[in-house]
Structure 1
């Protein structure tokens, strides 16, 4: 369950690089359309790109299901908080998380997510036990379940997941003319949406597209 839980969190963190990949499948057109419709003139002029909750859940539905973690869904809250839920052999698992850092620039790409609460629906005793067990402690006992993944480097410090996803963006964002100019200074959340604060304003994007 630990590996599937972490992978679902990483899918959220990597939604932007994956949908920006030049190898994006045609079937993902609806996902891009959902994201584009959410943008506003004021937001784009300020370099703020919005990823709606619906788009992330569409991505989850298409790419994040497995035999051990089914029907994953995301609920975005304010103050950089989110709730990820999915069906597992233990029942419906809910993780309340907080995005502590998300940085992408020409030199580095990393994120930190803190897992504030771990719950299993209708299993209060198990939920109570999980309060005293950090993901870091589980990883220390059973090994880092993501150590062999080449697209990113993930390590654990208590209930904080620290991810260096530079190898991933080098194969996606950095391989495109627009992507290699994008820098993300931070991420904020509001009810139903994720906001990426970037250096890419509407005029910058237009200039790149037109070759100015």
Structure 2
């Protein structure tokens, strides 16, 4: 059963009438279900506190689901090894086992941009199409804790220059179910702020924020309790 907070903040009534609220609750049910499927109460609390820690096995689960029945890459995993470094391992049909050690230079999401920049520390790199595909999947798997799993068919670009790669996955996030969700004029995806991602041993620390009005936060918390 979907409920809304009984004690709404005082300033909320100046933004929406209770008659409007009752009329909209039924229409908002699909959006509320999307939020419930994507977030839990602890995730919202951690986003607001500024630190979300995601174990490697959670990201690897997203990667396994993402590669599906790909005809070239049979397995794709990450291993956080600390000091801002990731080890990415791909089992491929043609090249066999490919291992890349990368340093995350930037991982950022705001309502204006979503960027991951990596520096590959290995000297020998796979071909660019494969490298682009791998980095696309890794960037979206890292974001999955916040927005759910995303179809990368559209809305993602990868620019590789030498051993540096920049992945722009902003539009891919907004093409997702979570990205299209809107709650009383606010997109939860707009509210998520990720300032950086720091790999530690066995996990990645995301430094975050939640840019959402207090009355909407109260609704989201109530929804997830």
Q: Tell me which interval the TM-score lies in, with the shorter structure as reference length.
A: 0.5 to 0.7
In the superposition, the TM-score normalised over structure 2's length comes to: 0.58
Q: In structure 1, what is the equivalent of residue 56 of structure 2?
A: 53
CA distance in 2, matches of 1:175, 1:151: 14
Q: Which runs of 5+ in 2 are unaligned?
A: 1-30, 134-152, 182-186
- Residues 38 and 52, structure 1, Cα contact 8 Å, conserved in 2: no
Higher relative contact order (CA 8 A, sep 6+): 2
Instruction: Give yes or no for contact 1:134–1:158 (8 Å, CA) kept in 2.
Output: no
Measure how far apart 1:167 and its partner are: 0.9
Q: Secondary structure at the match of 1:151?
A: coil
CA distance in 1, matches of 2:109, 2:193: 5
- Tell me the equivalent position of 2:116: 111
The answer as to 2:204 corresponding to 1:194 is yes
Matches within 5 A, 1:30-45: 43=46
Question: 2 CA distance for matches of 1:109 and 1:208?
Answer: 26
Alignment partners' CA distance in 1, 2:42 and 2:209: 19
Is it true that 1:157 corresponds to 2:167 in the alignment?
A: no
1:72 aligns with 2:76: yes
Work out whether residues 38 and 51 of structure 1, in 8 Å CA contact, stay in contact via their aligned partners in 2. Answer: no
Q: Structure 1 residue runs of 4+, over 4 Å off? A: 35-41, 203-206
Matches within 5 A, 1:71-90: 71-88=75-92, 89-90=94-95
Q: Residues 168-203 of structure 1: CA distance to partner in whole angstroms, max 9, x if unpaired?
A: 1222354234222111111111111112211129x9
> CA shift at 1:44, angstroms?
5.2
Say which SS state the counterpart of residue 67 (structure 1) adopts: coil
CA contact 1:39–1:50 (8 Å) conserved in 2: no
Q: Counterpart in 2 of 1:63?
A: 66
* Residue aligned with 2:121, SS: strand
Counterpart mapping for 1:177-188 below 5 A: 177-188=187-198
Distance in 2 (alpha carbons) for counterparts of 1:156 and 1:87: 21
Corresponding residue number in structure 1 for 2:143: none
Structure 1 CA distance for aligned equivalents of residues 132 and 79 of structure 2: 25
TM-score, length-scaled by structure 1: 0.61
8 Å Cα contact 1:104-1:183 kept in structure 2: yes
Instruction: Tell me the C-alpha RMSD between the 2 structures.
Output: 3.7
Describe how 1:131-170 pairs up with structure 2 within 5 A: 131=123, 139=128, 150-170=154-174
